[in-house]
Amino acid sequence: MIDSRNPLEPNADHSLPPSGQSAPSSQGSSDLYSDLFGHDPAASQRIRPQAVGVTPATMITPPQPHSPLTLDQTGLTLMQICDLVLKQLYLHGSLMGIDFARNARLPFKVIEESLQFLKDEKCIEVASGEIIGSASYRFNLTELGRVRAREAFEQCRYVGPAPVPLDAYVEQCRRQSVSGLDCDPQSLQEAFHDLIIRPNLLEELGPAVCSGKSIFIYGPPGNGKTMIAKGLGAFLNNHGGEIYVPYAIHTENNIVTVFDPTIHRTTDDAELRAGGIGLESMRTMGEAQQRMQKDLPDLRWRRVRRPVVITGGELTLDMLDLRYNKTSNFYTAPLHIKANGGVFLIDDFGRQIVSPRDLLNRWILPLEEGIDFLTLATGKKFSVPFEQLIIFSTNLDPRELVDEAFLRRIRHKIKIGSPSRDLYAEIFEFCCRQRGIEFNPRSVDYLYSTFYDQGKPPRSSDPRDLLEIVRSICRFRKQEVKLSEEIIAEATERFFCQL
């Protein structure tokens, strides 16, 4: 899901630090059940009935983009690559030929053409070099080159891996669509086997995942809707195989960064480190050229787990549009585009700053057609794939949030209601085991006879909350934590009191 930044990787924006720009807020969780009930120290030893005989799902990875061997295959113009070269030299002062290839994530054979052009134009000069070839030459900017580099910076301050063309991104997104996932009862049970859920729930969730369409999860608060939605995210993240995400895309002479190390969990770090090309490992440039001719992956793309982006009440319409920085003159892709190929979860739907109607109107076309339109600062629009499993989770009445036209576009509606008495007792026992408290079935009997059978609906989160109150009372009184009827009565009086 959301992973911490890798110190070995460059910043996601690959630019000079833009002023006044912060990363979009995202949330994630790798410990699903702890979100609702806390950590279970005995989870690794506990085997739930439905997990018996389960084997991991088959990992499916779409074909990887291949490394371009010519300038035409990059989808970029000679001048675009020349601008990247000039900006690299402007920042670093002096670089070897192979350094340009590393920084741009392009084969040196492609970079070499731009270096020769800039040398002929008197923009760069060779400061020193080895006899093994131009990849070992050290280049500096000339005075004319400095002027050209400053002009390039004024147009765009992006100085990262070379972008991929928009049409290549669109094609790759279609190849790794969520709707193509292989989901069966066994693999889904593996993802949910540590969660206590009602019978037959997986029979509702499985077809929703296979469809790759939107899901609406609703029901009263405190019954695990967010937990279940995150469980689906964990299934795609851990069992859905891998996809490829570009560092940046290029369209209409503009650059849009896509790869975000806070969201995209990379799986190719070891390969990149092992496959790095350095002069120290080459005896002749002939060997380097032979390596470049092989069918290598396009290093402008990163291989990642299917992403999971979670947003809640902080979601605004602006977060669904391109973020343009006037200082850097390039764009950052919105959250739902970074979620392409994975899951985009809108938690607490209906409690956002933006009204539900405005939010839903924004997504009527993407949900129907599978494409979204983004607007550049110039006002020009371009289309991008909308290839993700989007999940709406709410505890509000769906009839007050959406109209029939929108509900028709949400293919799967799944209600998460109050737990049955048997399921509630299992959750209560589980929470006791987590906290090292001896489970007393009479506690559940007391709760039902006093509250739940009198009209108050039980919630799956009640055992966790009640046990925390019990433990706090016992700690304050410096007494052993035991589930006596007296202590449960005191805890419920505080927890269920009418305000």
pLDDT per residue as tens, the chain (499 positions): 443 333 333 333 444 333 333 333 333 333 333 343 333 433 333 333 333 333 344 456 788 899 998 999 999 999 999 999 999 999 988 888 889 999 999 999 899 999 999 999 999 988 876 656 678 788 999 999 999 999 999 999 999 999 999 999 999 999 998 887 778 788 788 777 777 888 788 888 888 888 888 888 888 888 888 888 888 888 887 788 899 999 999 998 899 999 999 999 999 888 887 755 444 333 333 444 445 445 688 999 999 999 989 888 788 888 899 999 888 899 999 999 999 999 898 888 888 788 887 887 888 888 888 899 999 998 999 999 998 888 888 888 777 777 777 777 777 888 888 899 999 999 999 899 888 999 999 999 999 999 998 888 999 999 999 999 999 999 999 988 888 888 999 999 888 876 5
Q: Which residues, 6+ apart, have CB-to-CB distance to 287 below 8 Å?
A: none
**What is residue 29's predicted lDDT score, i.e. its pLDDT?**
34
**What is residue 50's predicted lDDT score, i.e. its pLDDT?**
35
Q: Are 496 and 451 in contact (CB under 8 A)?
A: yes
Domain shared by 236 and 327, yes or no? yes
Give the tokens for residue 300: 């402008």
**What is residue 280's predicted lDDT score, i.e. its pLDDT?**
39
Question: What CATH number does the domain containing 323 carry?
Answer: 3.40.50.300
**What is residue 186's predicted lDDT score, i.e. its pLDDT?**
80
2 found inside a domain = no
**What is residue 294's predicted lDDT score, i.e. its pLDDT?**
55
**What is residue 170's predicted lDDT score, i.e. its pLDDT?**
95
Domain shared by 128 and 257, yes or no? no
Using the 3D structure, point to which of 400, 415, 430 is the last residue of a domain.
415
Order of strands, sheet of 138-141, starting from the edge strand that comes earlier in the sequence? 94-96, 138-141, 124-128
Domain shared by 410 and 427, yes or no? no
Domain shared by 234 and 352, yes or no? yes
5 found inside a domain = no
Domain shared by 174 and 281, yes or no? yes
406 found inside a domain = yes
Q: Are 141 and 90 in contact (CB under 8 A)?
A: yes
1 found inside a domain = no
**What is residue 60's predicted lDDT score, i.e. its pLDDT?**
63
C-alpha atoms less than 13 angstroms from C-alpha of 29 in its C-beta half-sphere: 19
Angle ∠(216,222,228) on CA atoms, nearest 5? 45
Answer positive or negative: Cα dihedral of 162, 167, 172, 178: positive
Answer positive or negative: Cα dihedral of 170, 176, 179, 180: positive
Domain shared by 104 and 208, yes or no? no
Domain shared by 132 and 58, yes or no? no
Domain shared by 347 and 442, yes or no? no
Domain shared by 229 and 301, yes or no? yes
Give the tokens for residue 155: 């147009």
Using the 3D structure, point to which of 363, 392, 415 is the last residue of a domain.
415
Neighbour-count burial of 113, counting CB atoms closer than 10 A to its CB (0-12 exposed, 13-18 middle, 19+ buried): middle
Give the tokens for residue 58: 């088959």
* Dist. CA 485–CA 180, nearest whole Å: 53
Q: Are 335 and 372 in contact (CB under 8 A)?
A: no
With b for 16 or more beta-carbon neighbours within 10 A and e for fewer, the 93-107 pattern comes to eebbbbbbbbbbbbb
* Dist. CA 135–CA 138, nearest whole Å: 8
Angle ∠(43,348,188) on CA atoms, nearest 5? 40
Q: Are 10 and 105 in contact (CB under 8 A)?
A: no
**What is residue 42's predicted lDDT score, i.e. its pLDDT?**
38
* Dist. CA 392–CA 225, nearest whole Å: 10
**What is residue 316's predicted lDDT score, i.e. its pLDDT?**
85
* Dist. CA 220–CA 432, nearest whole Å: 24
Give the tokens for residue 24: 């979009």
Domain shared by 262 and 408, yes or no? yes
Give the tokens for residue 124: 């760069």
21 found inside a domain = no
* Dist. CA 166–CA 256, nearest whole Å: 10
Rg, the chain, Cα only: 28
**What is residue 37's predicted lDDT score, i.e. its pLDDT?**
34
**Strands (E) located in 336-477:** 343-346, 371-375, 381-385, 389-394, 412-415
pTM: 0.77
Q: Which residues, 6+ apart, have CB-to-CB distance to 402 below 8 Å?
A: 356, 360, 410
Domain shared by 389 and 257, yes or no? yes
Alpha helices in 306-388 (DSSP H): 335-338, 356-369
Alpha helices in 162-224 (DSSP H): 166-175, 185-192, 201-211
154 found inside a domain = yes
**What is residue 56's predicted lDDT score, i.e. its pLDDT?**
40
φ, ψ (nearest 5 deg) of residue 355: -70, 150
22 found inside a domain = no
Q: Which residues, 6+ apart, have CB-to-CB distance to 258 below 8 Å?
A: 169, 245, 246, 247, 248, 249, 333, 337, 338
Using the 3D structure, point to which of 399, 415, 431 is the last residue of a domain.
415
Give the tokens for residue 495: 């927890």
Give the tokens for residue 93: 């002062």
Number of domains into which the chain is organized = 3
**The domain containing residue 235 runs over which residues?**
34-65+168-415
* Dist. CA 201–CA 365, nearest whole Å: 29
